[in-house]
């Protein structure tokens, strides 16, 4: 079983997907000449989620799988039976990177879940949140990516949702993480964070209700079989920090997927497009009015304002009666 976390959740996935998950989670980072490798997928135009399956063969599940994430979390999603136990030491600074699709911090720690110990490798951010709680999205979501301590290659990821505060309060950890954010505005660049104290974050994850369901990675290759633990309650986020993160990350949230077990939304969209094209072909093209009667043709060529009585309109193969429509026609 492989563990991975995206969209405010904790995932578990079969180890067969290990290599894909390593690439997606940036556990094996590539650093050359002081820069990190930039992601090849994105969130806009042909690099975006609608075309992820077209970027690489291994991304097929993004467009065909019936178990995809993120989703809207409501009362049909169960509360997790247990919470993870987390240990992360305070550090004076940590490596902080811009991967093009997210910003990432390299830290060490240990999380225990379901009797297995996982080593924390990094955490990164999504804005806006990928999961929604009762249809509501959140401005920011943090994913904490772990690898199994037993060397199996299994991955675990915790995620935390953040909400803008009305009183200006915030989570100090975010302020420290983004202290030098301006230095990594360009994808591929690296800097350092300020001092990091994880006490409040750990307490929140271990005590807030977590909603659990089985879904998929929220980035390519969109592999199935992940168990999500979604934080039900958010931590505080001030406007200044949010705007700073947003100015660098821009937008990196996959659109909400369909109900679990139902047809992939891209398959549904493709079927709808084919159906529309078939109707247009069968109906001779776009909507058009019926041919005018001799009386209507005569009225159209008469001098002065005239009233034409239109009794029906053809739409595709259908002939639809209308109410009397008075049309003034000028010579």
Q: Can you spell out the DSSP letters for 143-182?
A: EEEEEETTSS--EEEEEEEEEE-SSS---HHHHHHTTTGG
The whole-number pLDDT of residue 114 equals 83
Q: Which domain holds residue 245?
A: 24-268
Given its phi and psi angles, is residue 255 left (phi above 0), alpha (psi -120 to 50 degrees) or beta?
A: beta
Nearest in space to 120 (alpha carbons), one of 172, 196, 186: 196
Tokens of 174: 């975010």
Neighbouring CB atoms inside 10 A of 49's CB total 21
User: Is 305 inside a domain boundary?
Assistant: no
85, part of any domain: yes
Residue 177 lies in a domain: yes
Task: Identify whether the C-beta of residue 7 lies closer than 8 Å to the C-beta of residue 70.
Answer: yes
Inside any domain, residue 257 = yes
pTM: 0.76
What's the rounded mean pLDDT across residues 22-49?
78
Closest CA to 97 of 225, 184, 6, 32: 184
The pLDDT value given to residue 293: 52
Say if residue 63's pLDDT is above 50.
yes
Q: Rounded to whole angstroms, how far apart are CA atoms 208 and 194?
A: 26
User: In this structure, is residue 162 part of a structural domain?
Assistant: yes
Give the tens place of pLDDT for each residue, 206-256: 999 988 888 888 889 998 877 778 889 999 999 999 999 999 999 999 999
**Cα–Cα distance for residue pair 261/187, rounded to 1 Å:** 36
Res. 331 pLDDT band, cuts 50 70 90: very low
Cβ-proximal residues to 195 (8 Å cutoff; 6+ apart), any chain: 90, 91, 92, 93, 176
pLDDT confidence band for 317 (50 / 70 / 90)? very low
The Cα–Cα gap between 13 and 118 comes to 14
Asked if the model's pLDDT at residue 201 lies above 90, the reply is yes
Q: Is residue 294 part of a domain?
A: no
Residues 150-196: pLDDT tens digits? Answer: 887 677 778 789 999 999 999 999 999 999 999 999 999 999 999 99
SS (H, E, C) 79-96: ECCCCCEEECCCECCCEE
Task: Count the domains in the chain.
Answer: 1
CA distance 298 to 294: 6
Provide the 10 A C-beta neighbour count for residue 226: 30
**Whether the Cβ atoms of residue 282 and residue 316 lie closer than 8 Å to each other:** yes
35 within domain boundaries: yes
Residues 37 and 29 sit within 8 Å (Cβ to Cβ): yes
CATH code of the domain in which 147 resides: 3.10.200.10
**Domain membership flag for residue 300:** no
- List the one residue out of 1, 8, 18, 7 whose CA is nearest residue 221: 18
């Amino acid at each position: 079983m492989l563990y991975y976390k995206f969209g405010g959740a904790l995932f578990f996935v079969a180890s067969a997907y290990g290599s894909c998950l390593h690439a997606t989670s940036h556990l094996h980072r590539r650093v050359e000449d002081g820069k990190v490798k930039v992601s090849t997928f994105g969130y806009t135009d042909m690099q975006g989620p609608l075309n992820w399956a077209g970027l690489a063969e291994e991304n097929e599940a993004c467009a065909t799988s019936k178990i995809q994430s993120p989703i809207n979390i409501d009362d049909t999603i169960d509360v997790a039976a247990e919470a993870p136990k987390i240990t992360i030491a305070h550090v004076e600074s940590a490596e902080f990177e811009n991967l093009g699709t997210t910003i990432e911090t390299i830290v060490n720690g240990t999380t225990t879940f379901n009797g297995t110990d996982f080593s924390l490798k990094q955490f990164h951010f999504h804005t806006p949140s990928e999961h929604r709680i009762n249809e509501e999205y959140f401005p920011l979501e943090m994913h904490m990516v772990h690898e199994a301590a037993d060397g199996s290659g299994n991955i675990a990821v915790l995620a935390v949702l953040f909400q803008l505060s009305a009183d200006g309060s915030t989570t100090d950890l975010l302020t420290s993480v983004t202290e030098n954010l301006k230095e990594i505005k360009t994808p591929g660049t690296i800097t350092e964070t300020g001092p990091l104290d994880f006490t409040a974050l750990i307490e929140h994850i271990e005590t807030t209700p977590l909603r659990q369901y089985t879904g998929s990675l929220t980035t390519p290759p969109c592999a199935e079989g992940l168990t999500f633990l979604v934080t039900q309650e958010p931590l505080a986020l001030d406007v200044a920090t949010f705007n700073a993160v947003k100015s660098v990350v821009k937008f990196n949230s996959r659109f909400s997927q369909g109900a679990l077990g139902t047809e992939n939304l891209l398959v549904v969209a493709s079927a709808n497009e084919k159906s529309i094209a078939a109707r247009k072909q069968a109906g001779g093209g776009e909507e058009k009015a019926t041919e005018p009667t001799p009386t209507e043709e005569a009225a159209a060529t008469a001098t002065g304002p005239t009233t034409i009585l239109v009794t029906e309109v053809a739409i595709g193969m259908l002939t639809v009666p209308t109410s009397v429509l008075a049309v003034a026609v000028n010579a």
